[in-house]
Structure 1
Amino acid sequence: MPIIEVNMLEGRSPDDKERLIQALTDAAITSIGAPRESVRIILREMPSGHFAVGGQSFAAKAAAKAAGKE
């Protein structure tokens, strides 16, 4: 039973998440021959303030961009 975990920033629509779930399920079926009913998908959403690159959170980066500082 494949278990696929996805960590992503919050803010995507329910439809977007459903499309992602379907695409990941189809990829597991195609690539490793997993039965559809055995594929498990876990989506973990996090606030932009909880994810950083290069010492700056995405929230801080967006705020700086909005203020014209980037």
Structure 2
Amino acid sequence: MPVVVVESPAKAKTINKYLGPNYTVLASYGHVRDLPPKDGSVDTAADFEMKWEVGNDSKKHVKAIA
């Protein structure tokens, strides 16, 4: 079954009505990962590779989606 992830639970409910029962629409409740607020979160020596982390508030939402 296809899964669609959107930020807002209200949007998830509305989109689910349009897509129908063949889709699962889930809400992430906002951004689920961010760059840590410290030096080294962007590695300029490695083509500006970013080191993302999942915030503590987002972990339960990520677990529900996964």
TM-score (norm 2): 0.35
Larger Rg: 1 or 2? 1
TM-score (norm 1): 0.33
Taking CA–CA contacts closer than 8 Å with sequence separation of 6 or more, which of the two structures ends up with the larger relative contact order? 1
